[in-house]
Amino acid sequence: MQSQNSLIKNKAVFLDRDGVLNVERGDYTWKTLDFEVCPGVPEALKLLKQHGYHLIVVTNQAGITKGLYTKADVLACHEKLQAACGNALDALYMAPGHPSHSESLSRKPNSLMLERAIARFNLEPAACWLVGDQPRDIEAAAKCGVTGVLVGPHPAGTYIHQQQDLLAAAEWIINSQVKV
């Protein structure tokens, strides 16, 4: 017999890292000195937490496989992000593979990082969102039934759900009638 808690599904917002949570520098961001949290991110995460969302980072980190930096460097940036955001993030999933070096089902646009979090946190995909700044983020979300929100400078109308930044996306998610 299943327990009552195992029947209850949770909701989450998956968050791409570079360009959503921290400033996109056009190159790999792995030094904590270069890691700059985007304006509005602490407020956005706090708002989403107040509305009961798990907050899960899903990030491609090909620089690890390329030998440019280490997993420890990524984790140090994550610690800096957590400190700036009141430890609001529930988990960090990273895909260190690079297409020129290896195949990876975790690397977005594939969805294994999301699928692992869905299982771990007992998430209902239809009640989840992914906020990303690249089409590959939105593709990964769609593969597992999660709605994607594209942020940043993209031509208007490129995607159904587009917002300026994470704070605008968080406010839109909270106020959205699309999800119940």
Q: Are 55 and 13 in contact (CB under 8 A)?
A: yes
Place 134 in a pLDDT band, splitting at 50, 70 and 90: very high
Place 100 in a pLDDT band, splitting at 50, 70 and 90: low
For 105-111, what is the mean pLDDT? 91
Model pTM greater than 0.85? Answer: yes
Distance CA 163, CA 150 (A): 6
Residue listed under structure tokens 């983020």? 137
For 68-76, what is the mean pLDDT? 96
**Per-residue pLDDT at 8:** 81
Please tell me the total number of residues recorded for the chain in this structure: 180
Domain annotation for the chain: domains and CATH numbers: 4-175 (3.40.50.1000)
Residue listed under structure tokens 């593969």? 143
For 49-71, what is the mean pLDDT? 95
For 38-49, what is the mean pLDDT? 98
Place 103 in a pLDDT band, splitting at 50, 70 and 90: low
Which residues have CB under 8 Å from 5's CB, separation 6+?
Answer: none
Enter the tokens of residue 94. Answer: 């990273």
pLDDT at residue 98 above 70?
Answer: no
Which residues have CB under 8 Å from 12's CB, separation 6+?
Answer: 53, 54, 55, 56, 90, 117, 121, 123, 128, 129
DSSP character at residue 109: T
Least confident of 56-60, 103-107, 171-175: 103-107
**Per-residue pLDDT at 6:** 60
Relative to beta strand 129-132, strand 147-151 is: parallel
Enter the tokens of residue 125. Answer: 């995909």
Which residue numbers are catalytic? 16, 18
Helix (H, G, I), strand (E, B) or coil at 118: helix
Distance CA 73, CA 71 (A): 5
